Amino acid sequence: MDKLKAYIPLVVTSLLSAVLAVMIYRWVDKPRQIIVRETTPAQYANWSEDLLNDIRPRTFLSSSPTNFISAAERVTAAVVNIKTMQESRFDLWGNGSVGTSSGSGVMITPDGYIITNNHVVEDGDEVEVTLNDKRRFKADIIGIDPSTDLALLKIKGKELPYLDLGNSDSLRVGEWVLAVGNPFNLESTVTAGIVSAKGRSIDILEGQDRIESFIQTDAAVNPGNSGGALVNTNGELVGMNTAIITRSGRYEGYSFAVPANLVRKVIKDLRDFGVVQRGILGVFVDEINNARAEELGLKTVQGVYITRVTPGSGADEAGLQKGDVIIAINGVKTRTMPEMQEQVGRYRPGNKLNVEFFRNGKMNKAEVVLKDKSNNTIAQAADEANMLTNLGFEVRNLTREETKRLHVEGVKVISIYRGSTVERTNMDPGFIITKIDNKFVRSIDELIRELREAEGKVMLEGIYEDYPGEYYYAFPLNE
């Protein structure tokens, strides 16, 4: 008992010391505020009569928890399988064969518009679409664009599952994304990865108008994924899976997708016009390297160097010159050529771009009106472009400088197709059309209008810049 009494003062002292220590700690170290960040609930916009809504700012944090369940459930229903069939081809021995190929596509409206890659459908005579719920539809090809490897299809249906187009500009390197498609003829398959890079060019597309500014990811993509969806963790379409880099023919960690903001513009053109309205800045460009940056006085190695300006182009009329460095377009930095091509590729002829450029040690701004390759600022429907193609020539409007120098108004022939109706007239490229059936022609629009109204034979009147006199060429419209 005496020993227990001896321990009592020790216990009381310890308790008092602990209480005193806690009081001193609370007085010295004031309470801290703990912030717990949670994901903003997914917000999906309702589809309207406009196929493609304006680009919306993202409504969630890119650092949200990596829970892909809700995004995967939403996306898989909207990703379809696309099967293309070629008609029988017969060899010299009369043996026939039927070819088929398959890929993926993404439903973007509840009434059946589908986007996919051009290479998925380009060789097909018939296109069949299979939905995730096993329903099958025959699809019509609304339009294709080899320059971006995109195609727009349409099936007949109502209240179909679809995806919203997200804002690919908001994607950040290191952000989680999902790739959804139909590889190896499987049903919708979901793989996950991160954004490895943006603005990649891998030289897989052909043509002078090609636009390569791919989103690179390490999400597993295999044969059959072409045309499938690349989505963020909010379930928004941010890209279309298009290609992989591989030595074995199978996935090796490098997959590439067309950015959704470029997809939005291309398929809207295909829907509205049947052909892409490609706006041209009117410059030839090159990358900026360290030596060139030091020579020009740039603080950082960024921007696109202008090596030549096309006379009469929007860039020429806005005052851009050889040696200028384009730094940004409409406020978006253009650090590389693919990034600049993507920005320009989002706009149509007639659209105005605010171009920031570096010249003689100073930053400058210019407003450039885009034109098409025919030097026109007015959108042209597919049937209008096809009319001239079917006749066998390409034309462009005269530049202001040419009109002033030659003292004429008209349309200049820039190329003639072999074996065409126009070639059989012995017309040469460089011919300037000033009249059609004795009616003045001042622009491509007027030329097309007069061709539409004409019947039987037409007579083109005009001049050559380097040859004296007037020349006449007649040909039948329906040959």
Band the pLDDT of 373: cuts 50, 70, 90: confident
> What contacts 24+ positions apart, CB below 8 Å, involve 375-378?
375/312, 375/313, 375/399, 376/349, 376/443, 376/444, 376/445, 377/349, 377/350, 378/349, 378/350, 378/445
Q: Where are the beta strands (DSSP E) in 334-389?
A: 352-359, 362-369
Contact assessment for residue 257 and residue 229, using Cβ atoms and an 8 Å cutoff: no
| CA-based radius of gyration for the chain | 31
Q: 179-188, 261-270, 357-366: lowest mean pLDDT where? A: 179-188
As a whole number, mean pLDDT of residues 229-254 equals 82
Distance of alpha carbon 12 from the chain centroid: 77
How much is the mean pLDDT over the chain?
81
Query: Cβ contacts of residue 458 below 8 Å, gap of 6+?
Result: 436, 437, 450, 451, 474, 475, 477
The per-residue b/e assignment along 435-462, b for 16 or more CB within 10 angstroms, e otherwise, is bbeeeebebbebbbebbeeeeeebebbb
- Please give the pLDDT value at position 42: 31
pLDDT per residue as tens digits for the range 281-303: 989 999 888 889 888 888 888 89
Task: Tell the burial category of 430 from Cβ atoms under 10 Å away from its Cβ (0-12, 13-18, 19+).
Answer: middle
What mean pLDDT comes out for the span 4-21?
59
Q: For residue 13, what is the enclosing H or E element?
A: helix 2-28
Structural domains of the chain sorted by starting position, each given as residue range(s) with its CATH number in brackets: 69-273 (2.40.10.120), 283-369 (2.30.42.10), 382-476 (2.30.42.10)
Structure tokens that stand for 443 in this block: 């622009």
| Cβ-proximal residues to 132 (8 Å cutoff; 6+ apart), any chain | 76, 77, 78, 79, 80, 161, 187, 188
Is residue 305's pLDDT more than 90? Answer: yes
* Cβ-Cβ contacts under 8 Å for 256 (sequence gap 6 or more): 200, 202, 214, 215, 216, 217, 241, 242, 243, 244, 245
Taking the C-alpha atoms of residue 195 and residue 244, their distance in angstroms, rounded to an integer, is: 14
DSSP 165: B
Residue 367 pLDDT greater than 60, yes or no: yes
DSSP 3-state assignment of 212? coil
3-class state of residue 342 by DSSP: helix
Dist. CA 117–CA 226, nearest whole Å: 6
Nearest to 199 by CA among 70, 287, 121, 98: 287
Q: Which one-letter DSSP state was computed for residue 83? A: E
State residue 456's pLDDT score.
Answer: 85
Lowest mean pLDDT, pick from 34-43, 48-57, 408-417:
34-43
The secondary element (H helix, E strand) that includes residue 270 is helix 260-273
Coil, helix or strand at residue 475? strand
Cα 224 to Cα 81, 85, 90, 177, 185, distances in angstroms: 9, 15, 27, 18, 7
Of all residues in the chain, the percent with pLDDT exceeding 70 is 78
Show which residues are catalytic. 119, 149, 226
Q: Decide if 230 contacts 177 (C-beta within 8 A).
A: yes
Give the pLDDT score at 39: 27
Whole-number pLDDT of residue 225: 80
DSSP three-state, residue 123: coil
